[in-house]
Amino acid sequence: MKLSIIGTGYVGLVTGACFAEKGHDVTCVDNDPAKVALLRGGGIPIYEPGLEDIIRRNVAAGRLRFSDSIAEGVRHGQAVFVAVPTPPRPDGSVEMRFVEKVARDIAGAMTEYRIVVDKSTVPVKTGLKVADTIKRYNKAGVEFDVVSNPEFMREGCAVQDQMNPDRIVVGVTSQRPVPAMKEVYGPFNAPLIITDINSAELIKHASNSFLALKISYANALSAICECSHANIEQVVDGVGFDKRIGRAFLNAGIGYGGSCFPKDISAFIAIAEELGCDFRLLKEVQRINADQLHRFVKKIRETLWVLNDKVIAVFGLAFKPNTDDVRSSPAIDLVHALQREDTAIRAYDPQGMEKAREILKNVTFCGDPYEAAKGADAIVLATEWDEFKSLDYARIKGLMTHPIFFDGRNQLDPAKMTALGYTYKSIGR
Ligand code: UDX
């Protein structure tokens, strides 16, 4: 099927590439000519495992191409997927100007029936507003349908999530676009859930909020474990075996971050408020998340007493492993918190250094964890990269001024670290 994607960010690029991989004929559009030029030249603007291969393969096979013209995208795609940014406004609500602009542009370019599919994460009732906008700006009265089709891909395994989804949600206002949406997703072999359009939009915010809620629940439990000398890992393992609960997203740490959870939870609170509902549960989820980082910094301060002048090695800057994304990363917040107390930071991240350099000032960026550990009064593990589990910690101990280790992601074995001579502190155990 001929498909177009408007916006080549994480969501748009991965979606377009995976559609092509499943045999569809895809045009990806972006209004940034430099990005389009990069993609046309074989470059990939983001780090996402597996993406480069898929893009290269499908461009070569003629199933995937890039354009900076929405008109070209609208001409090409029977279904036009909108995957443009919906960033947060300062008050937590969602900035809708890019979605609205694309709706107008699509309206202006449409000459025959099109299905306009919203993939961006948007407030409930956006689809209806997009439909009104297209109707208003398409003077020729061309027929169209608006569909909501939220994405559920995690950075770092976005390709895998997109190729093997748990479910596909399709929100519609009429049955007309349903067969085409079934054709788009037929090759993905996943349950297709057809809902009304408002429900589809809510499913996205409800899913991400629930996952964040699980993390905050584990983090709140970790505080209780610390006060009661219990072990959070054992507690959540025991809880997670209950199939009704599940073990996933119950890892305590220094909190959730990234471009989705913080933004989506703020947005959902703001959306609820606009609808006259006070979503206090989610406000508490946010509060616990912020507290978790403060509690961790307090732990570091209590151990080192005065932080001023201390050299701290930070392992991990990305908001989670297998990505170079440092947006709303708890690791970055942690560095800022430590810098406010005049520590000297030596940092290392397997992928996130380049992007971290744009945000962090006065940090010594190191080529590997061993270099970062040199002369450190303490190490803080802030992102759960696999690489950090298998380092030579005996060697690292020898490089440090003092063998003090704060494990913000419970990645290492407390008994082993203590046996090596470290003062080792983690979360909730
Ligand atoms: C999330 C959703 O999972 C995905 O479905 C949605 O479409 C986009 O938002 P992503 O932001 O890529 O994906 O990251 P995710 O893997 O969900 O992790 C989010 C944050 O939670 C990370 O900072 C991670 O370290 C943290 N986390 C995750 C925990 O602290 N504990 C856990 O148990 C799981």
Strand order in the sheet with 311-315: 363-365, 344-348, 311-315, 378-381, 404-407, 423-425
Asked whether residue 218 carries a pLDDT value surpassing 90, the answer given is yes
Question: Is position 54 within any domain?
Answer: yes
Count, residues in the chain: 429
Specify the pLDDT at position 205: 97
DSSP 308: T
Number of H helices, E strands in the chain: 17, 14
Question: Is position 196 within any domain?
Answer: no
Our answer on whether the CB atom of 257 is closer than 6 Å to any ligand 1 atom is: yes
Residue to mutate (ligand 1; options 51, 288, 319, 388; most atoms within 8 A of CB): 319
> What is the pLDDT of the chain when averaged over all its residues?
97
Question: Is position 93 within any domain?
Answer: yes
Domain boundary among 251, 286, 321: 286
Q: What is the pLDDT of residues 91-106, one digit of tens each?
A: 989 999 999 999 999 9
Question: Is position 195 within any domain?
Answer: no
335 C-alpha to ligand 1 centroid (Å): 20
Q: What is the DSSP string of 310-374?
A: -EEEEE--SSSTT----TT-HHHHHHHHHHHTT-EEEEE-TTTHHHHHHH--SEEE-SSHHHHHT
Ligand 1, atom 17, lies closest to the CA of 154
227 noted as active-site residue: no
Our answer on whether the CB atom of 250 is closer than 6 Å to any ligand 1 atom is: yes
The torsion region of residue 137 among left (phi > 0), alpha (psi -120 to 50) and beta comes to alpha
CATH of residue 253's domain is 1.10.1040.10
CATH of residue 357's domain is 3.40.50.720
Same domain, 113 and 222: no
Percent over 70 (pLDDT), the chain: 100
The tally of CA atoms less than 13 A away on the side-chain side of residue 103 is 25
Same domain, 121 and 21: yes
Q: What is the pLDDT of residues 350-368, one digit of tens each?
A: 999 999 999 999 999 999 9
330 C-alpha to ligand 1 centroid (Å): 12
151 C-alpha to ligand 1 centroid (Å): 14
Question: Is position 200 within any domain?
Answer: no
Same domain, 129 and 17: yes
**φ, ψ (nearest 5 deg) of residue 56:** -60, -50
346 C-alpha to ligand 1 centroid (Å): 26
Our answer on whether the CB atom of 215 is closer than 6 Å to any ligand 1 atom is: yes
> Residue 322 and residue 48: Cα distance in Å, rounded?
8
What tokens were used for 19? 């559609």
Q: What is the pLDDT of residues 376-425, one digit of tens each?
A: 999 999 999 999 999 999 999 999 999 999 999 999 999 999 999 999 99
Our answer on whether the CB atom of 262 is closer than 6 Å to any ligand 1 atom is: no
Specify the pLDDT at position 156: 86
3-class SS at 389? helix
Ligand 1 atom closest to residue 157's alpha carbon, by position in its atom list: 12
Same domain, 274 and 321: no
Q: What is the pLDDT of residues 258-292, one digit of tens each?
A: 989 999 999 999 999 999 999 999 999 999 999 99
Our answer on whether the CB atom of 256 is closer than 6 Å to any ligand 1 atom is: yes
Same domain, 152 and 209: no
Asked whether residue 155 carries a pLDDT value surpassing 90, the answer given is no
Specify the pLDDT at position 47: 81
Question: Is position 197 within any domain?
Answer: no
Our answer on whether the CB atom of 317 is closer than 6 Å to any ligand 1 atom is: no
> Residue 407 and residue 382: Cα distance in Å, rounded?
7
Question: Is position 198 within any domain?
Answer: no
The torsion region of residue 120 among left (phi > 0), alpha (psi -120 to 50) and beta comes to beta
> Residue 98 and residue 104: Cα distance in Å, rounded?
10
Question: Is position 376 within any domain?
Answer: yes
Ligand 1, atom 1, lies closest to the CA of 154
Same domain, 305 and 271: no
Number of domains forming the structure of the chain: 3
By the 8 A CB rule, do 331 and 388 touch? no
Domain boundary among 159, 190, 221: 190
Same domain, 74 and 133: yes
Range of the domain at 225: 205-286
76 C-alpha to ligand 1 centroid (Å): 34
Residue to mutate (ligand 1; options 203, 215, 221, 381; most atoms within 8 A of CB): 215
261 C-alpha to ligand 1 centroid (Å): 7
Same domain, 221 and 304: no
Asked whether residue 46 carries a pLDDT value surpassing 90, the answer given is no
Specify the pLDDT at position 306: 95
What tokens were used for 285? 């989820």
Same domain, 129 and 225: no
Active site residue: 18, 225, 260, 366, which one?
260
Q: Which residues, 6 or more positions from 360, have their beta carbon under 8 angstroms from its beta carbon?
A: 317, 332, 335, 336, 345, 347
Specify the pLDDT at position 48: 87
Q: What is the pLDDT of residues 159-176, one digit of tens each?
A: 999 999 999 999 999 999
> Residue 28 and residue 3: Cα distance in Å, rounded?
9
pTM: 0.94
Same domain, 11 and 94: yes
Q: What is the pLDDT of residues 251-266, one digit of tens each?
A: 999 999 998 999 999 9
Same domain, 133 and 10: yes
Domain boundary among 156, 190, 224: 190
Same domain, 281 and 309: no
